[in-house]
Amino acid sequence: MSNIQLCYQCGKCTAICPVRRVVKTSPRSTIYNNTVYRTGSDDIWNCLTCGLCYDGCPQGVDYPEFVKEERDSKEDGDLAHKGVFTLLTDMMTDLEESRTSLDEAGNTDSKIGYYPGCLDFHDMFFNLDVDFRSIADSSMKLLNSIDLDPKLIKMKCCGHDQLWQGDKGTFEKLKDQNTKLIAQSGIEKLVTSCAECYRTLSQDYDLPVEVVHISQLLKDADLGIDSKTTVTYHDSCRLGRHMGEYEAPREALASAGSEVVEMKHNRNDSWCCGVSSMMNCNDRSKALRKARLDEAKDTGAQVLITTCPKCLAHLNCMKDEQESIEQYDYDIKDLTVFLAEQMGGK
Amino acid sequence: MAEFEPNILTFNCNWCSYAGADLAGVSRLQYPTNNRIVRVMCSSRIEPTFILEALKEGADGILVTGCHIGDCHYIEGNVHTDERMKEMMDALEHLGLGGRLRLEWVSAAEGKKFQETITEFVENIRALGPSPLRKGVDD
């Protein structure tokens, strides 16, 4: 249950809301209308659930949780790509055979599992120069190089997007099916390379196994790289504010010899990439993405690193779109892909 | 239990394939009655969600037809269709619905080809069996 009853209407959430900078929306008045007049508001569909308001709230009101509950079983708002991913995962729940399509099996006797998430579907429907599948390949390579020897866990989608789009029924189905698959696989530790999967599997699932994000394993690892690259790190909302993991990716980068420079807004102040759970990819959130790209440009870094495939996709998409009018002299890469590239053929 | 009769959804583009289907009709060419035709202005109008929605609602197979490459009324609409449908076939393969989507170019003069394509596709789907998503759909 969300704790919006604690709200004393100071309006700090509205002041720091990133969406507020581009469109008239107000978390404060949404809460007010809900608690006092019991009326709904369209603002719940504008929310990016990035958690910046929660982080700044003096009362600790969990607005994203409230939005999640409010969205439940209501008609979807503005879904990106006409809801193709939503439909795909919805169909997955009814199809026994459907799994992630990656082939590498890894070490099948391992007690450590690696779950790639829905990377293969990203490759199919985004016409971008980003090879999402290489995130899975790189993750396996990195995990093998630190002698963890994981096996690839073939599950359905984690259901993160369905949960946040208000389709709790589908989420529950996916949760049941995935929990069974994990129990069958006999692993003790589940590694993900996706910030959203990490949040969902550790907070919204009730798993008997330990869930870790790959950056948490790589931070102390000696990969034997000295990359000497200047990089900047974009905190994704799911790994950062939702899960409180700010330092692990930075330490992983630093231990690989990269110099990490910070953007103006970093760690818990980090700005959102503008799209979470495949919703609200429109002119408004594009303005947010542009602002984020400009911040990264100001740091003078050669590579912008992120840990979430959604941030990766949407920032890259915006970069492509802006290329004709503005020059961005850096690459946007996933943490694992960057580190694996630096390792080279080793 | 009655013999399985596939439900086929066919998308025809207005300028070539629909005229092709028309030609098949006026030439009195016989083909199975399992298909329902939806006319669209261009085959590139067909979004991935259309295919998924149709399968979700219980279609056993989906046939997409358009003008031959280079003949598109809108210059290069069918080039986009080609790209998109290949992605779709890949995606359906992963879902366990491989072979239920087919793309074919049928011009206005190819009534015979339309007949043959439909006959062949219906037989293919009959061999594949009912879609796992088909739940008590009445014909």
Pairwise CB contact (< 8 Å): A101 & B53: no
- pLDDT the model gives residue B136: 61
- Which residue, among B45, B51, B52, B93, would best test binding to A if mutated, counting the most A CBs under 10 Å from its CB? B52
How many angstroms separate the CA of residue B108 from the nearest CA in chain A? 31
Residues in B 108-127 with any Cβ partner in A closer than 8 A: none
Residues in A 55-94 with any Cβ partner in B closer than 8 A: 82-84, 87-88, 90-92, 94
How many angstroms separate the CA of residue A123 from the nearest CA in chain B? 9
Percentages helix, strand, coil for chain A (3-state, rounded to 5) are 50, 10, 40
Pairwise CB contact (< 8 Å): A84 & B49: yes
Q: For B56, which residue in chain A has the nearest alpha carbon?
A: A91
Across the interface, which of B48, B53, B96 has its CB nearest the CB of A97?
B96
- pLDDT the model gives residue A92: 84
- Whether the CB of B95 is below 8 Å from some CB of chain A: the reply is yes
What is the Cα–Cα distance from A155 to B23, expressed in whole angstroms?
A: 48
How deeply is B127 buried, as exposed, middle or buried, from its count of CB atoms within 10 A (0-12, 13-18, 19+)? exposed
- pLDDT the model gives residue A110: 83
Pairwise CB contact (< 8 Å): B132 & A96: yes
What is the Cα–Cα distance from A144 to A146, expressed in whole angstroms?
A: 5
Domains, in order of start, for chain B: 8-128 (3.40.50)
Beta carbons within 10 angstroms of residue A219's beta carbon: 17
List, for residues A145-164, the tens digit of each pLDDT value.
Answer: 888 888 888 888 899 998 99
List, for residues A77-89, the tens digit of each pLDDT value.
Answer: 778 787 888 888 8
- pLDDT the model gives residue A193: 92
**3 state SS of A281:** coil
Domains, in order of start, for chain A: 4-71 (no CATH), 80-218 (3.40.50), 230-341 (3.40.50)
What is the Cα–Cα distance from B48 to B64, expressed in whole angstroms?
A: 12
How many angstroms separate the CA of residue A147 from the nearest CA in chain B? 30
Report the DSSP beta bridge partners of residue B37.
Answer: B10
Average pLDDT value for residue range A288-301: 92
- pLDDT the model gives residue A122: 82
Contacts of B47 in chain A (CB under 8 A): 82, 84
**3 state SS of A98:** coil
- pLDDT the model gives residue A90: 85
**A269's tokens:** 């102040």
What is the Cα–Cα distance from A339 to A346, expressed in whole angstroms?
A: 12
Average of per-residue pLDDT values in chain A: 88
How many angstroms separate the CA of residue B99 from the nearest CA in chain A? 15
Q: What is the ipTM of this complex?
A: 0.81
